[in-house]
Structure 1
Amino acid sequence: MSTQRKPATSDRVTTTAPAQLFERPGGGERAALVQLDDGRADCRSALEELAALAESAGAEVVDRLINRRDKPDARFFLGRGKVEELRERLQSAGADLVLVNHFLTPAQERNLERELGCRVLDRTGLILDIFAQRARTHEGKLQVELAQLRHIASRLVRGWSHLERQKGGIGLRGPGETQLEMDRRMLGQRIKQLEKRLERVRRQRHQGRQSRRKRDLPAVSLVGYTNAGKSTLFNRLAASEVFAADQLFATLDTTLRRIELPGAEPAVFADTVGFISDLPHQLVAAFRSTLEEVVEADLLLHVVDASASTRDEQGEEVEEVLAEIGASEVPVLRVYNKIDLLDQPPRVVRDDHGRVQAVWLSAATGEGLDVLLEAVAECVGERRAHGRLRLAPSQGRLRARLYQSGDVLHERVLDNGDCLMEVSLPQRELERLQRHEGLPTSIEYL
């Protein structure tokens, strides 16, 4: 019994690429955008962001539709009348792709494609497509493929129609497993392979961080909403050539550079992927090794587009993602970028105790970069603890933990077996070890 599929027709696409494992209408470049207005958010701003995402993916936006309803329709997401209206508008505008600015269930996506006769992508699928285009390094490609496969795995429901049901009787018995089961098994095997490869990458990154800690180099990571100007700022600071463009998710692959700080030791700066509202959980999980650069940083530079009308909402979205990946306790310095668009001078903002809270600058013109470097030097300098401590022989686990973190500068074993250690570690790491690992609070600061 053959399991070969029939040749695809002219208006269908059949491929075994990670993004499509079952037959669906072919996608195009002329897109119609769909936004649900349930009265809880600014749907106009959300639709503008979807348009920016579509343009980043290479699509041409030819129409926009807002559906006002309290909750999505279980079958079509949109109301039946809106589905018919959308079909007519697609024909009128010549659109061959529908982008929905929400999460669609597999059934909703399939039903809409059947009714509209064109490809339908939800917000998660669109962001995954952009990431697939942007990934350049081997690690980035592995992470994107893993995210895509996890997304597809949840959608393998009646994707194939043939051999779906086994028949009994002579000459009618099918193979031992259906095509759908074969797809799921192959997906599971590939996901396991990618997870193993990314685990090796994670260990390599961990070793790199350990090496930097041994050299006593503080780590500074740039985070922020996508298109806030992180890569432009990084290029200015590091005299680097990381790709930067006025588009969403221009940078996916983390880049590290050593940067000199005025009146302080150098620091290692990391340019990371941008965040966005409703960031797919598959991406957060797949980019775990990359996002560990954020979690393990001594200081986060939260870059904010000062000219954006929704900068407060974007800031809240970034904070939610930081909390989700376990980086909510890392010290943060806010960097308000693009002051050249506001015609404001660079400046530093301090709290009532004189501690730096924010810096206003322009990465495009370079105004305020010196102020930022001075602020970073002040933050990482005052947040590292350098001192001596004494450990008893019974505290071997804590001693091993300090060596693992690369925080031990010198050690001398005393006659009674105690270890006299000179250490240098971030203040938050010191406090964590004191709370959870039994590190003595009687450290002698140097």
Structure 2
Amino acid sequence: MSKSLHTFTADLLTRAGKALSELLNHPIAFKEGELAPFLEPSLAPFGEAFIACLTAAVTEPCAGTVYIGFDLKRVVLLGALLEMVPPEGIAERLSDPKFDKDNADAFEEVGNILVGKLDEAIRDNLGAAKIHTKKGETISGAPAELFGKIHAHGDYYCLAATVEIEGQEGGPVCFLFQPSLVEEGLQADPEISQWRISTAVKREDAAARGDAVSTAATNNAKGAPVAAATGPTAEGQQDTPGTRAASDRRATGDPRPPIVPGTADQPADGEPAAGPAPATMATSDATWRPCTTAARVAAGNADGRPVLLVVDDDITTRAILRTWLDGGDLLVYEAVSWREASIFLRHHRIDAILLDLYLHDLNGIEACHRLHLHPTTRDVPVILCASHPSREAVVQGLKAGAMDFLIKPFDRQRLMEKLEAITVTAV
């Protein structure tokens, strides 16, 4: 492998490992293998395991498509870490791994991070600031099925690697690059390029004999990006986790405006825009709405107020709390699901959490249990809340780590007293 190519692959894997370690608050590292032509044996390390592949389209001057493939167990494991699942829950998921909606959504979040690091590595190593890498769709299937899907679009180089996740079994990872990026941008060794030359000769011979040759495969062998990798939605917008989340909110009547991932939250009428979002939130599809314009501008709790995270999927409850708490002594953020809350908690220090018992994606008692076990949130006070909870639910919530339990609809004075008691010493 040429020096420039080796530098690029090593840099890419280092960036990817550090980024996922920070995102998941768990040590993760990628170990480099060999770069070779992408042939059927390239997927042998995966055995017969199900593979999920991210796609990314690289723009000119070295246009092409990149695939990043993980086996199912690693996909499930990354999703569990993203959701702050405790060790016993991780073991349960790995015993019967499934590529369900939750794992697919989590994989999209991981994909946002990896594609961002891929973009950085390509720009820094090629010295081409105009190159841009866009995340596309996720494809999945058995190794033989995936090989057919990918190979139909032309030739690829395969960087074999392994991902090591502390406390868990490592697994294979593959990075597939279209030839234009490797040969033109990173100057592969002659023996690597020789495979491409011989492949082109075989295609020309086949065409001369009148054999059917895929136009798409021929075009993409020259480096044209696969259109599906960046396909728009029916509304003409990029189908990203953020746009899907915005559509979901509109469908459920949530009045918050759509959010574009990587930008600041849309301000209310008459308020100034907040400017770029903090870098730590650039790839998140969660949407956070600080209660005041000053808090939006601060974008990092610069005023030093204690931070309260309200986790509740009820629009009315969030609206009432916003009215009561806006402009007060607390900096308040909102999450409409456990998944949004878990993303936010990995990037921000929280002084208290007001948590609904009946979230649509996770029971509040289990959420308390996860918060209590996780090293970054085990000391954060949690107040559970619900309408007409059973006595058993209250007891279980307190046993799971909640500091208190409030009944909805809230008594305003009692709520304020509780919040003041648990945040008065926050630093």
Q: TM-score range by the shorter chain?
A: 0.3 to 0.5
Q: 1 or 2 for the larger relative contact order (CA 8 Å, sep ≥6)?
A: 2
* Greater helix share, structure number: 2
Q: Compare CA radii of gyration and give the structure with the larger one.
A: 1
For normalisation by structure 2, the TM-score amounts to 0.35
For normalisation by structure 1, the TM-score amounts to 0.34
